[in-house]
Amino acid sequence: MKAVQFSNLILECATRTLRNQNGNKVVLRPLPYEVLLVLLQSEEPVTRDELFQRCWEGTVVTDQALTNVISSLRRNLLSLKAKCVEIKTISKVGYFIEVDGIEIERLPDVEAPEDVPRMFVDSELSALPPTHLDVPDSRTANLAKLIPALLSTTLIITLLLISYFKPFSEKPAFIKKGRYEQFALGDTHYFFKDMTSGFVSSDEVQEQLSRTIPPTCGVDIYIRLFPSSYEPDKVALSVWLQQEGGKRNHNFRQFAVEKEQIATYISEALVNREVTCD
């Protein structure tokens, strides 16, 4: 059995199937199939009479029948995203298919339907002129099939990761490590954020802490300085202690802060029943 390749389309004669490089296909009805083949065979415009003669075998039908067939073929080409293929109406003559290249290809045998038209046998199809083609090779076709499969797999994996890690749940800002200045003194990790207008610098805090807190504390210490909600001109402090690699935590609040005493407050925060230095 033969197939006709033109532009990015393949017309499989045995099954009257017109398909594109993405695997999308349309099974043509017998008449549109015949009309398309006649147009592809001809290098010149085909008259309406000739089309009626060859495809309707002389049966008397209205002009509208051919117009409808041409319209349906144009729709098929459009739906298959045919490139550089156009069925042109030649005024007072008939129709002409403008196409980049046409080639006949031998395909694996497919069982033919009973209504395959007799008029287009292999020998006739062979008469079609071989030219250059835009049809992609089998590797491209395989790739075209592989891409949706890869996309689907990626989407499913993304779905599973989203369900597990819940990245779209609203996280409180105070637990986002990226919002803090981070430093470590020994095994103790500090996260520092000054929300005042420069009450104390991270370096000053580090300096105090290095003299006070044991470097083997093994606790994540989040320090936040902010303007007091109760007393204007005063600075308050929140410390959130998080057991490293564990679930236990402790909240500490100092409502009036003296900048030289920050390390003392952290020491006080570490005196609690939940999270202590190892």
Nearer to other proteins, 71 or 79 (CB): 79
Q: Is 269 in the site for other proteins (CB under 8 A)?
A: yes
**Sequence-ordered list of residues with C-beta below 8 angstroms from that of 106, at least 6 positions apart, any chain:** 1, 2, 3
User: Of 272, 268, 242, which is closest to residue 255 (Cα–Cα)?
Assistant: 268
Helix axes 63-79, 30-41, angle to 10 degrees: 80
Q: Please say which residue, 120 or 180, places its beta carbon nearer to other proteins.
A: 180
Name the one range near other proteins by CB under 8 A: 10-18, 95-103, 153-161, 199-207: 153-161
3-class state of residue 25 by DSSP:
strand
CB atoms within 10 A of CB 111: 7
* Residue 143 found at the interface with other proteins (CB under 8 A): no
φ/ψ of residue 11, rounded to 5: -105, 110
Site string for other proteins, 224-243 (x = CB under 8 A): x-x-xxxx--x-xxx-x-x-
| Between 66 and 275, CB nearer to other proteins | 275
- What part of residues 165-204 is at the interface with other proteins (CB under 8 A)? 166, 168-175, 195
Shortest distance (Å) from residue 155 CB to other proteins = 4
Helices (H), 134-261: 138-165, 202-212
256 near other proteins, judged by CB under 8 A: yes
Give yes or no for residue 207 binding other proteins (CB under 8 A): no
